[in-house]
Every structure is written in C-alpha cells, then in structure tokens.
Amino acid sequence: MLPIKPEDITPDKLDEVAREWDQARIYAVTRAEVLVKGNEWRAAKVRENQLEVQCMLRARRLRMYGMSRKEIQYLFGADRKTINKWLKGMD
C-alpha cells in the first residue's frame, strides 16, 4: 500500500484500511491456528502408530498363549480385519 497524503484521508479510505487490516489479522490468526493443529495432528499420528504396535505385540503374545482370534478381537474391541493384520503369519 502506498503512503497516503493527509488530504487523501476520508472516511471511506479509513474503512478500506480497516477492512484490509482485519483481513490480514484474520489470515495471520487462522494460519497460526492451522500450524498448531498440524503439529497436534502429526503428534497424534505418531502416538497412534506407537499404540498400534503395542497392541499388535500383545495380540501376538495372546495368540502364542493359545487364545482364539475371536477372543482377542473381543478383548481389543477391534474388527476382524485389524486382528488379522496384527496376527498375519502366525498360523
């Protein structure tokens, strides 16, 4: 935005500048919020992956001790596809 001479300042010009400032501020706030949410999302994905590995290891241990797939599925509250993925290659 170019410098304004004092004689060019009108109520309309002040409104225009105020709108531009509001838009820039809203953009900056939204961008900052998205950066925070992005960081939270990435951390949650890492935690999800860690938790899945822990569950998979425990499911495999239960299967080694003779527990049925159906019972393991019930204990975890998981679907059959997930249990099959965790126990792939064990039978």
Residue of higher predicted confidence among 37 and 13: 37
Kindly indicate the confidence band of residue 2, based on its pLDDT and cuts at 50, 70 and 90.
low
Residue from 20, 25, 15, 89 nearest 59 by CA:
89
Return the CA Rg of the chain: 28
45-70: pLDDT as tens digits:
999 999 999 999 999 999 999 999 99
Kindly indicate the confidence band of residue 11, based on its pLDDT and cuts at 50, 70 and 90.
confident
State how far the Cα of 58 lies from the Cα of 41, in Å rounded to an integer.
Answer: 26
Residue of higher predicted confidence among 25 and 17: 25
User: Model-level pTM?
Assistant: 0.67
Domain regions of the chain by residue span = 12-86
State how far the Cα of 82 lies from the Cα of 71, in Å rounded to an integer.
Answer: 13
75-85: pLDDT as tens digits:
999 999 999 99
State how far the Cα of 80 lies from the Cα of 15, in Å rounded to an integer.
Answer: 61
Q: How many helices (H) and strands (E) does the chain have?
A: 3, 0
